[in-house]
Amino acid sequence: MKDTQKAGKGTTAVKKRYDGFTAEEKAAMKDRVEEQKVSARRGGKADEEGALLEKIAGMSEADRAMAKRIHAVIKATAPGLSPKLWYGMPAYARDGKIVCFFQPAQKFKTRYATLGFNDAARLDEGTMWPVAYALTKMTADDEARIGALVKKAMS
């Protein structure tokens, strides 16, 4: 979409261009389309955990270390969640709906990774509650907190 500003007297028109999505956002959308195609080709029975682990293996060292630990915590805490890729990110679903996901810092070139929860997670507490957590590294306390959040999300 292009906006054109009217030129002042004696000047030429200045065009502003909306650049739209970033390259990283476009790549995430392409990842999602490919995930859906693969799932459709295999009747929804693709080796989604294998694809998730492969994606984790390709992450930067810091993101990979956190993603591996988060994967282990979620598998131990909520074995009923299905691991899968979602916009090219490790995610965990219940009945086909994404409950939580790990967004590596490298994905959108941010300074921290994110553990996020979608509306399928039952984290409701009053009229306002957090649904995303910034991660710079993982400690044993962080793992325990993540385990508690995932357990609550599944309740």
pLDDT tens, 40-67? Answer: 776 655 688 999 999 999 999 999 999 9
Tens digits of residue pLDDT in 71-124: 999 999 999 999 999 999 999 999 999 999 999 999 999 999 999 999 999 999
Beta-carbon contacts of 144 under 8 Å, excluding residues fewer than 6 positions away, are none
pTM across the whole model? 0.80
The encoded tokens of residue 51 equal 């694809």
Query: What's 25's domain CATH number?
Result: 3.90.1150.200
Higher pLDDT, 91 or 15: 91
Which range of residues forms the domain containing residue 110? Answer: 20-154
Q: Highest mean pLDDT range out of 7-11, 14-18, 32-36? A: 32-36
Tell me whether residue 82 is in a domain: yes
Specify whether the CB–CB gap between 1 and 16 falls below 8 A: no
Position 10 pLDDT exceeds 70: no
- Nearest 5°: phi and psi at 126? 70, -140
Tell me whether residue 9 is in a domain: no
Tell me whether residue 114 is in a domain: yes
Q: Is 118 exposed, middle or buried (0-12, 13-18, 19+ CB in 10 A)?
A: middle
Tell me whether residue 56 is in a domain: yes
Tell me whether residue 60 is in a domain: yes
Tell me whether residue 41 is in a domain: yes
Q: How far apart are CA 113 and CA 92, in angstroms?
A: 16
Specify whether the CB–CB gap between 102 and 115 falls below 8 A: yes
Tell me whether residue 118 is in a domain: yes
Other CB atoms within 10 A of residue 87 CB: 18
- Nearest 5°: phi and psi at 102? -115, 120
Report the sign of the C-alpha dihedral through residues 19, 20, 26, 28, in that order: positive
pLDDT band at 36 (very low <50, low <70, confident <90, very high): confident
Collapsing DSSP to helix, strand or coil, 114 comes out as: strand
The encoded tokens of residue 45 equal 């029975």
Structural domain count of the chain: 1
Tell me whether residue 8 is in a domain: no
